[in-house]
Structure 1
Amino acid sequence: SSKLLRAFYVPFLSDQYTVYANYTILKPRKGKQIRKKSGDTIYDEDEVLLTLAEQLGNFTGLVGGPDFAHCLLPPLESLATVEETVVRDKAVESLRQISQEHTPVALEAHFVPLVKRLASGDWFTSRTSACGLFSVCYPRASNAVKAEIRQHFRSLCSDDTPMVRRAAASKLGEFAKVLELDSVKSEIVPLFINLASDEQDSVRLLAVEACVSIAQLLSEDDLEALVMPTLRQAAEDKSWRVRYMVADKFSELQKAVGPKITLNDLIPAFQNLLKDCEAEVRAAAAHKVKELCENLPMEGRETIIMNQILPYIKELVSDTNQHVKSALASVIMGLSTILGKGNTIEHLLPLFLAQLKDECPEVRLNIISNLDCVNEVIGIRQLSQSLLPAIVELAEDAKWRVRLAIIEYMPLLAGQLGVEFFDEKLNSLCMAWLVDHVYAIREAATNNLMKLVQKFGKEWAQNTIVPKVLVMANDPNYLHRMTTLFCINALSEACGQEITTKQMLPVVLKMARDQVANVRFNVAKSLQKIGPILDTDALQEEVKPVLQKLGQDEDVDVKYFAQEAISVVAQRLRKLDFPVKDSEEPSAPGADKNHFLRPRGPGDDTG
């Protein structure tokens, strides 16, 4: 079979897709899909090519093993030249994979010539693909071939087509890692300098990314002499996209260049980025504030932050752009663990309080979501008076996603503020969320109550939460009555058997007579859920009769869920060695277990 693949199938793919690749470049397609006259789609050409490019990378074993891996190169070479980027990228990925299967001799005989052909191809598509292949063939090539490979890469870095220069710039750092140190200094660094001053900002910003890899390979003296002038230039580039890339890669650059260059060059550059004229750049820099401070040398770190970073942070707190303020709010709390209690109270606390009063809900939310950082240092009580108004505003925000986010942080807040503060200030908010008009909020509020009970205990739940939840069973709105059932489902396990049996079960059984079918079948689901928690007497004497009655309900969905619950209850009783007659488990008329639930109306809520 391997011989057949090598002799017929692989050459066929090579011929067919060489023709196809040339066709797609020379003659633009009007559509990506081949269609019948009737208009039905047969297949998407690019999807076929993408799958082919992916699968060929795993064909080595099918064509006879590594000795015949070169048979797979021709079709992948053709696929690496097609118009569609994702196909080319997948072909390059497969070629990189297959390159590892070649011996050094086979690599120079088959793979390196392929790379050279792609690198000198007429169409930019082949030259861009070649950029991703240099690093995998260079380490095992002979010195003479290595020189040729470096020459081809240099040519692509100065290619007339911006797309090719972009591809070369994106692979510059990767290629630098496999080169000898002398070659990095003599060839890669000049290429980096040229690409970093390219006329296209899309090329320059990729050179910044490559700078991280190059900096990791050079000594401090070489960095200062060869790389830093270009990096300083990039930090002040006329294009905001290049400055953005410097800000985005700042932590990686800081680790690569070391503490001395960071203090002398990167800190001043970071200050400029924090006050950049473009909001996107300021936001990217603000995101890196905590990481920058963490990576500073321990000796003198506090002084550097207080004198050279904090003044710029204070300005960003009142920035005109909400994205900048939000970015800062997501990291600023982390500075408290770095600066300690005294500096946090004196310098950071006023900033936290100002952000808690910010008009932008995302800013307030980001501060609240990171309160644990401050709690470890100074305790949360000092923020409590400012926290409450911010929490209330977020809890009542018009955007339901904002309300959802604050609900998710409520257990954390409750644990830090304590049960007394929670009962006095926040309990009513948690109950209000249970009747929110958005189902996702009601669902999250239910889960929130469960986490609060786990945190404060079942006695607190019995006295504080459960009575308020059970009152909702009499609410005129059936959605709110159903929320009672959802809460019981969530709280029963945390509250235990006694509270569930004595307080929750009677309410659930009473709701079995509800006029709304949605409520009744959710009663059946709730009884199934809490069944394992109840004792045998409650199951046999109270739960089972109600379920059997629901099993005769006129609504098909109620019948179905009642029958499901009866089966579960019967299994539970058997495990407890409680006698159960088969006649006590009749199939409810019309309750087929395999039926599809009928569609409910737009206003219905099945939970």
Structure 2
Amino acid sequence: MKREENLIQVALLLDNFKSDDLALRLASVKGLPLICDTLGPERTQKEILPFLNDCLDDEDEVLVALADELGKLQRQVGGNSNVHLLLPLLESLASVEENSVREKAIESLKSLIPLVPQQVIESTVYGQAEELAKGDWFTKRESAVQIIPVVYNSCNQKEKKDELVKTFVGLCADEIPMVRRAAVKAIKNFVSVLDRQTIKSQIIPAMTKLGNDEQDSIRIWIMESLCGIAASLSQTIQQSNSQTNVNSSFTPSSVSVGVDDAKQGVVPIYLRLAKDQSWRVRFKVGEKICRLAEVMPRQLVKSDLLPSFLLLIKDDEMEVRTVCASQLSDFAFFVSDLTSQTPVPAQQQNAIITQIVPVINQLAKDENTTFKESLAGSVMRLVPLVQRQDANVHLLPLVNSFLHPDQPAEVRAAAISNLNSLAKSIEIETICPKIMAAVNGLASDTQWRIRITVAQHILFIAKQLKVQSFNELLLPLCQKQLALDRVHAVREATIIALKDVGSWYGKDWVVKSLLPQVAPLAKDKSYIQRLTALYALTAFTPLVASSALTGGQAQQEAKGGAPSPQTVPSDDTGIRQYIFPILMQLARDPVANVRFTAARALRVCVQNVDGAQAKREIKAVIERLTSDADRDVKYFAGQALVGI
């Protein structure tokens, strides 16, 4: 009975392939798995595939769906031995003019070709790829450059592999720019399956020619492919080392391109791109330079990449300068003496201080706020990459300048956001006045994203200050400005930060310094401030109940090391004395939003007390709220009872 129903449904789906209704045709395409499963592999091969071949003149939306479904029909056509029967249809779809159809067809081809048996690859698929590459219409050739790497990787005959490389290189010089662009984008995938000699003799010369292409839409992709070539060359070196020396200490992250290979093949192309007349190409160089530096020999990074990078960061185009500034600290990692795994030649030592810092001193005077924002963050992250003495002498003045009140708020915020980079290299006490001045200025900035940056970095500042200093310098700021901010996200970030500070300073500080600041908010005329009080109490309750009796700072001072978590018995006294009375008061608030937030806070409260009497008192308040006139209050009170 079920098979008969399926046959009826299949007949209907097949009829709908010719329907005038687009939705019905789409439904039929998506029903292909059911059709093929019902008819079986043999009828699918002999009837459905030829039928589909007659349906290729359709709307683009239908063809995209068809290309997607064909890539999933491996089982329905009889498994891997017959999967090649799907390829002609997909090749036809990969030749159409609509880009979205071609992309989906190529995606399906890439997933199916590796499943094709070896003998079929060499007898059929190889020829199909070559035919596609020789197509009269450029869309065929554009698709061919993306398929050739997959066919190459599945082919074992050297002659055919060499022919595929030759065909690919020919397409890199195609007369149509779209084909050349597709080729340069495909290189990074192709080189991952090529041997070192082929890359050097075939691909790098093709890349050199593409680097001089008249179309900047082609040159803009060369940097990314160049990173792929360098990475592939480093992998072939690693494989060679593993085969010749089983005790080799090389790892994928520590192996780089051979100096000669890089000097002769990679560096010239890079230098050409770094001086390209199109700012978009130079922008791409700045954006990808760290990926290239990662697989390049350190001596070439310093001798060839660094000088050109320092020119790019002074580029006339603001976009180029900004992207290079954002990459500065990451790139400096590869020229830092502290991160080098091999001895650094005397003439290349201290490159950050001797070459990079003088340029930064010039750039710090730039008037563009976006650029200086990127530069400020990178300078802060440079600090751990130099010796402590050098950091205090050469980088500390820059840090101070970025924190100066005359700097735009975005620049000061970028510096504050990266303060944690300074902890191990610079005496924070020496710049504390500058930090506090910056924090006070930013906390009242008109942009809420700037104010939230301050809130998010309160914990780091707290770790640099004694409790008394924090109470005098930062706690009033948190209470009077950030916690009362008109933007909820800032208030929320402040509460989370103060909770973290409470974990650091300990329960005594929470009870004596923090909770007294919350109590006045609970009596404020604005219901927003009363809600803020509830959010704060919800966050602070676990600290008052347990696990924060000593705090991270006390543990660190006692042990001289990093704080370790402590488990202590729950203590109801703090909650009953300091928190529960405020919650009882707000549970009777005239504003419904305050009452149901109080119900949620009471749920957290009851979860952190052990005494039976305390639980009964809290439960009684929640039960009263379940009879509230407001339905939202009833709902949240009911949810709170479920958790008890």
Would you say same fold, with TM above 0.5?
yes
**2:303 aligned residue:** 264
Q: Structure 2: how far apart are the matches of 1:526 and 1:269?
A: 58
Deviation digits for residues 519-549 of structure 1, max 9, x if unmatched? 2222222222211123220222x22333333
Deviation digits for residues 357-384 of structure 1, max 9, x if unmatched? 2533232222112212211112311111
**1:488 aligned residue:** 537
Contact residue 336 and residue 374 of structure 1 kept, 8 A? yes
- From 411, 417, 420, give the equivalent of 1:369: 417
Q: Matched residue of 2:136: which SS?
A: coil
The code of the aligned residue for 1:220 comes to V
Deviation digits for residues 483-512 of structure 1, max 9, x if unmatched? 111111111112103211211101111222
- Give the drift of 1:182: 3.4
Q: Structure 2: how far apart are the matches of 1:412 and 1:200?
A: 49
Q: Structure 2: how far apart are the matches of 1:530 and 1:126?
A: 68
Q: Structure 2: how far apart are the matches of 1:351 and 1:207?
A: 35
Q: Matched residue of 2:495: which SS?
A: helix
Q: Structure 1: how far apart are the matches of 2:262 and 2:579?
A: 70
- From 481, 491, 514, give the equivalent of 1:442: 491
The code of the aligned residue for 1:313 comes to I
The alignment status of 1:117 with 2:193, answered yes or no, reads: no
- From 275, 287, 291, give the equivalent of 1:248: 287
The alignment status of 1:160 with 2:197, answered yes or no, reads: no
The code of the aligned residue for 1:478 comes to Y
- From 355, 358, 375, give the equivalent of 1:311: 358
Q: Matched residue of 2:220: which SS?
A: helix
**1:588 aligned residue:** none
Q: After superposition, where does 1:92-171 map in structure 2 within 5 Å?
A: 92-139=106-153, 140-171=155-186
Deviates more, 1:50-59 or 1:273-282: 50-59
**2:23 aligned residue:** none
Contact residue 216 and residue 281 of structure 2 kept, 8 A? yes
- Give the drift of 1:390: 1.0
The alignment status of 1:532 with 2:607, answered yes or no, reads: yes
**1:385 aligned residue:** 433
The alignment status of 1:237 with 2:267, answered yes or no, reads: no
Contact residue 54 and residue 94 of structure 1 kept, 8 A? yes
Runs of 5+ unmatched residues, structure 1: 25-44, 570-607
- Give the drift of 1:239: 0.9
- Give the drift of 1:482: 1.5
Q: Structure 2: how far apart are the matches of 1:426 and 1:521?
A: 31
Contact residue 435 and residue 442 of structure 1 kept, 8 A? yes
- Give the drift of 1:51: 4.3
**1:213 aligned residue:** 228
The code of the aligned residue for 1:454 comes to S
Deviates more, 1:422-431 or 1:359-368: 359-368
- Give the drift of 1:219: 4.2
Q: Structure 2: how far apart are the matches of 1:561 and 1:178?
A: 59
Q: Structure 1: how far apart are the matches of 2:64 and 2:511?
A: 60
Q: Structure 1: how far apart are the matches of 2:414 and 2:44?
A: 58
Q: Matched residue of 2:105: which SS?
A: helix
Q: After the TM superposition, list the runs of 4 or more consecutive aligned residues in structure 1 that deviate by more than 6 angstroms.
A: none
Q: After superposition, where does 1:5-404 map in structure 2 within 5 Å?
A: 5-17=44-56, 19-20=57-58, 45-46=60-61, 48-139=62-153, 140-216=155-231, 217=233, 219-296=258-335, 298=340, 299=344, 300=346, 302-357=349-404, 359-404=407-452
**1:471 aligned residue:** 520
Q: Once superposed, what is the RMSD of the aligned Cα atoms?
A: 2.2
Q: Matched residue of 2:76: which SS?
A: helix
**1:35 aligned residue:** none
Number of residue pairs matched? 543
- Give the drift of 1:292: 2.6
Contact residue 316 and residue 324 of structure 1 kept, 8 A? no
Q: Structure 2: how far apart are the matches of 1:312 and 1:425?
A: 36
**2:453 aligned residue:** 405
TM-score scaled by structure 1? 0.84
Q: Structure 2: how far apart are the matches of 1:370 and 1:115?
A: 52
TM-score scaled by structure 2? 0.80
The code of the aligned residue for 1:156 comes to L
Q: Structure 1: how far apart are the matches of 2:218 and 2:191?
A: 17
Q: Matched residue of 1:330: which SS?
A: helix
Q: Structure 2: how far apart are the matches of 1:228 and 1:562?
A: 68
Q: Matched residue of 1:352: which SS?
A: helix
- Give the drift of 1:401: 1.7
Q: Percent same amino acid among aligned pairs?
A: 35
Q: Structure 1: how far apart are the matches of 2:512 and 2:211?
A: 67
Quick one: structure 1 residues 220 and 567, their matched pair in 2 at CA, closer, same or farther if it must change by over 3 Å? closer
Deviates more, 1:500-509 or 1:107-116: 107-116
Q: Structure 2: how far apart are the matches of 1:504 and 1:402?
A: 32
The code of the aligned residue for 1:515 comes to P
The code of the aligned residue for 1:159 comes to D
Q: Matched residue of 1:476: which SS?
A: coil
Deviation digits for residues 564-586 of structure 1, max 9, x if unmatched? 333433xxxxxxxxxxxxxxxxx
Deviates more, 1:194-203 or 1:171-180: 171-180
Deviates more, 1:467-476 or 1:226-235: 226-235
Runs of 5+ unmatched residues, structure 2: 1-39, 234-256, 546-571
Q: Structure 1: how far apart are the matches of 2:128 and 2:465?
A: 66
Q: Structure 1: how far apart are the matches of 2:594 and 2:291?
A: 56
Contact residue 15 and residue 75 of structure 1 kept, 8 A? no
Q: After superposition, where does 1:584-603 map in structure 2 within 5 Å?
A: none
Contact residue 196 and residue 205 of structure 1 kept, 8 A? no
- Give the drift of 1:131: 1.5
- Give the drift of 1:302: 4.5
**2:629 aligned residue:** 554
- Give the drift of 1:222: 4.1
Q: Structure 2: how far apart are the matches of 1:310 and 1:213?
A: 30
Q: After superposition, where does 1:545-584 map in structure 2 within 5 Å?
A: 545-569=620-644
- Give the drift of 1:469: 0.5
The alignment status of 1:424 with 2:476, answered yes or no, reads: no
Q: Structure 1: how far apart are the matches of 2:75 and 2:214?
A: 46
Contact residue 510 and residue 543 of structure 2 kept, 8 A? no
Deviates more, 1:441-450 or 1:544-553: 544-553
Deviation digits for residues 38-90 of structure 1, max 9, x if unmatched? xxxxxxx53x5444433433332332211011122123223323444344223
Deviation digits for residues 297-331 of structure 1, max 9, x if unmatched? 64256422222211111112222222221222222
Q: Structure 2: how far apart are the matches of 1:83 and 1:411?
A: 57
Q: Matched residue of 1:132: which SS?
A: helix
Quick one: structure 1 residues 407 and 52, their matched pair in 2 at CA, closer, same or farther if it must change by over 3 Å? farther
Quick one: structure 1 residues 480 and 265, their matched pair in 2 at CA, closer, same or farther if it must change by over 3 Å? same
The code of the aligned residue for 1:78 comes to S
Contact residue 258 and residue 297 of structure 2 kept, 8 A? no
Contact residue 273 and residue 282 of structure 2 kept, 8 A? yes
Q: Matched residue of 2:221: which SS?
A: helix
- Give the drift of 1:226: 4.1
Quick one: structure 1 residues 233 and 548, their matched pair in 2 at CA, closer, same or farther if it must change by over 3 Å? closer
Deviation digits for residues 436-464 of structure 1, max 9, x if unmatched? 11122222222222212111111101011
Quick one: structure 1 residues 181 and 549, their matched pair in 2 at CA, closer, same or farther if it must change by over 3 Å? closer
Quick one: structure 1 residues 424 and 190, their matched pair in 2 at CA, closer, same or farther if it must change by over 3 Å? same
Contact residue 396 and residue 426 of structure 2 kept, 8 A? no
- Give the drift of 1:271: 2.0
Q: Structure 1: how far apart are the matches of 2:409 and 2:51?
A: 61
Q: Structure 2: how far apart are the matches of 1:505 and 1:96?
A: 64
Contact residue 50 and residue 90 of structure 1 kept, 8 A? yes
